Amino acid sequence: MSSGPDRSQPTPTFYLFCIAVLVACVAVLGWQVRKLHDRPGFHIAGVDPRGVDRLFTASLQSADGMSFDLARLKRRYAVVFVFTSADCSACLPELESLARISARRKDIQVVGVLAYGNRDEGRQTQESFGFKFPILIDPQGQVLSAMHLPKTPWKLVVNLPVREVIFQDPPSVTGEEREAFFQRVTRLGYF
Amino acid sequence: MKETFATLFLGMFLWGSASPAAEPAGSAVRLTSAGRLMLDKPSGRVDQVVPLGGGRFAVRDTDYQHEQNQFLEIYDASGKRAGRIGSFGRGPGQFFRLKDLAWASSNTLWVADVVARLTRFDLQGKVQGTRLVLKPGFHIGSLVLDEPRGLYYLTGCVPDRVYLDLGCTLIHQYDLRNGQYLKSFLKTDPEALEKHLLSLEDYLIDLDSQGRIFAVDVPVFKVFRVDPVKGDVRTFPLASRIVRQAPELIPGDSLEKMRRAYEQAFLIDRILVADPWVLVSVRKPDGGFLLQVLDTEGRLAAGDLPSPGRLVGKSPNGGFYFANRAPKGFEVVEYRLQKTVRGGAR
């Protein structure tokens, strides 16, 4: 009668090997998904890239009167919410979900761009919705015009170091749509 | 005998000519002219006339078909144009679609633009301030100031369930001092929801001396009285032998069909309150206007009165302004409502 090791049972080394392969697969998958997220133009539909350049080159003032230069930000991502005072009532509550993004991810800069407005109206917007992220004033709607957006409000998620739009989103009307955008943005950079 | 008949005939003729035309049999009220003014305005429209004090008037001229042709004009007591205020546009101090005007005792003209912006101008056209309607946000239908109570009201569709065609809250109250939103009143009438009338809807209001709001949704032939203190709403149906109720619309129909429905519908054009009367002007599809007169308790004093022009405003002393195009401009006539001998408000 032989008393050697039972070859029908996997050894602990085998378990460790499987776990290592699994971790490697997950890492590769995550890396690929992240690359996909960051790939410029992957989700772009409509926005004029030259208009996005205007975001970085136009000298826009914030509602509190300070100049704000998007190009100097050290963060990786920015969520730019372009809106006008005329935007639909069901769409402006998006500002509240942007405030949630701003609170959740400190590495993502949320910026509002108020077209056809003045500083007073920018401050009113901040007070009404109770958030602290900057509202930039585009009094003549020049940045808005340059972007050729199909409608407003419009959301752009920008990769700041390369100044490219990662993805964009039309107005969210329902709470589900707002939540989907929130989830998508807060997962940025993770897989 | 012949003389008796002749005297009777002459008497009837004189009585008839002395009575205003706008008084069908059975009316409890009649309109009597109280003054007229010729506006030196050779073109455009007169959609609203607001007295400013010192005999001056602000005139709103809004052509939504040609939006660049919208003007806010000031006229002096002789009817000569003294200036224009603002311009077409979407920025502060501009207007995209002028919806309503109101004159405040602080000598500022409040201008409501459909793009959710209130602008206060002085009479030199300088912007005194702007305020966005943000939370709740809506497109403004009309504006009325209630200075004695430190309030103002706006109308606009704030959806109850995300989508405008599922019903809205229509009247919104604000603090006059700081513009803070206070509360909202009045839901969309079930008739408008059942018939899918959203594309015809517009919400007009005015106040009586007690601060009660009288409101209409233009394709719905009813007047709603809202007590903002108690929050209760009373509905007063309007009676007419001429007005046809708006037909049911089909959601998603072409713009052309919607436009035709708009042109063929009897729509309420304006509601104005001058205690004790509530005057409702209805636009007829074939041109012209009809008037319905209620007292502030909702009792119909006169229905289907032929209107002496387009109802465009009310005077500080309880009269109503009617505008008509004239060869060299516009004639604005002030009329007062008076009880007739055989009728009278009950």
Identify whether A55 is part of a domain: yes
For the stretch B260-292, what's the b/e string if a residue is b when 16 or more beta carbons lie within 10 angstroms of its beta carbon? ebeeebbbbbbbbbbebbbbbbbbbeeeebbbb
Identify whether B225 is part of a domain: yes
Are residues A166 and A97 located together in one domain of the fold? Answer: yes
Are residues A120 and A30 located together in one domain of the fold? Answer: no
B115 to A92: CB separation less than 8 angstroms, yes or no: no
Are residues A29 and A109 located together in one domain of the fold? Answer: no
B96 to A86: CB separation less than 8 angstroms, yes or no: yes
Identify whether B17 is part of a domain: no
B134 to A129: CB separation less than 8 angstroms, yes or no: yes
Are residues A86 and A104 located together in one domain of the fold? Answer: yes
Nearest CB to A118: which of B89, B130, B157? B130
Q: How far is A45 from chain B (nearest CA, A)?
A: 25
Identify whether B98 is part of a domain: yes
Write down the pLDDT at residue B144.
98
B137 to A87: CB separation less than 8 angstroms, yes or no: yes
Nearest CB to B115: which of A86, A173, A174? A86
Contacts of B115 in chain A (CB under 8 A): 84-86
A120 to B158: CB separation less than 8 angstroms, yes or no: no
Contacts of A89 in chain B (CB under 8 A): 116, 136-139, 156-159
Write down the pLDDT at residue A6.
63
For chain A, 191 residues long, give each residue's pLDDT as a single digit of tens.
455 556 677 788 888 999 999 999 888 887 766 655 554 444 445 677 777 888 888 889 999 998 888 888 889 999 999 998 777 777 788 888 899 999 999 899 999 999 999 999 999 999 888 888 999 999 999 999 998 888 889 999 999 988 888 888 888 888 899 999 999 999 988 75
Q: Supply the range of the domain harboring residue B178.
A: 24-339
Disruptive mutation site among B135, B164, B168 for chain A (greatest number of A CBs within 10 Å): B135
**Count of domains for chain B:** 1
Distances (CA, A) of B293 to B272, B296, B299: 10, 10, 9
Residues 6+ apart with CB under 8 A from B2: none
Which residue's entry shows tokens 């309607």?
B133
- We report the CATH number of the domain holding residue B60 as 2.120.10.30
CB A139 within 8 A of CB A108: no
A89 to B92: CB separation less than 8 angstroms, yes or no: no
Are residues A50 and A33 located together in one domain of the fold? Answer: no
Are residues A51 and A35 located together in one domain of the fold? Answer: no
Nearest CA in chain B to A175: B162
Are residues A156 and A128 located together in one domain of the fold? Answer: yes
Contacts of B117 in chain A (CB under 8 A): 85-86, 121
Nearest CA in chain A to B157: A89
Contacts of A86 in chain B (CB under 8 A): 90, 96, 114-117, 139
Distances (CA, A) of A173 to A86, A89, B181: 15, 9, 22
Are residues A159 and A76 located together in one domain of the fold? Answer: yes
Nearest CB to B132: which of A85, A140, A174? A85
Q: How far is A125 from chain B (nearest CA, A)?
A: 7
A118 to B92: CB separation less than 8 angstroms, yes or no: yes
Nearest CA in chain A to B115: A86
Contacts of A118 in chain B (CB under 8 A): 91-92, 130
Identify whether A103 is part of a domain: yes
**Could you say which DSSP state residue B235 is in?**
E
Identify whether B141 is part of a domain: yes
Nearest CA in chain A to B136: A89
Nearest CB to B158: which of A86, A89, A120? A89
Nearest CA in chain A to B90: A116
Tokens of A10: 């996997």
Are residues A86 and A71 located together in one domain of the fold? Answer: yes
Identify whether B19 is part of a domain: no
CB B164 within 8 A of CB B157: yes
- Report chain B (346 residues): mean pLDDT per 10 consecutive residues: 41 37 67 94 96 94 89 96 93 92 96 94 94 90 98 95 92 96 97 95 97 98 97 95 92 88 95 97 95 95 94 96 95 94 49
Q: Supply the range of the domain harboring residue A32.
A: 11-39
**Count of domains for chain A:** 2
Nearest CB to B134: which of A118, A128, A139? A128
Can you name the residues that pair with B235 across neighbouring β-strands?
B224
Residues 6+ apart with CB under 8 A from B12: none
Tokens of A110: 């949320």
Distances (CA, A) of A3 to A6, A11, A13, A186: 9, 17, 21, 57
Complex-level ipTM: 0.79
Identify whether A5 is part of a domain: no
CA atoms of B97 and B120, how far apart (whole Å):
15
Which residue's entry shows tokens 């008839």?
B16
B90 to A87: CB separation less than 8 angstroms, yes or no: no
Tokens of B334: 């002030």
Name the phi and psi angles at B89, rounded to 5.
155, 180
Nearest CA in chain B to A93: B135
A92 to B135: CB separation less than 8 angstroms, yes or no: yes
Q: In the A/B pair of chains, how many CB contacts fall below 8 A?
A: 70
Write down the pLDDT at residue B252.
84
Are residues A78 and A165 located together in one domain of the fold? Answer: yes
Write down the pLDDT at residue B24.
57
Identify whether A101 is part of a domain: yes
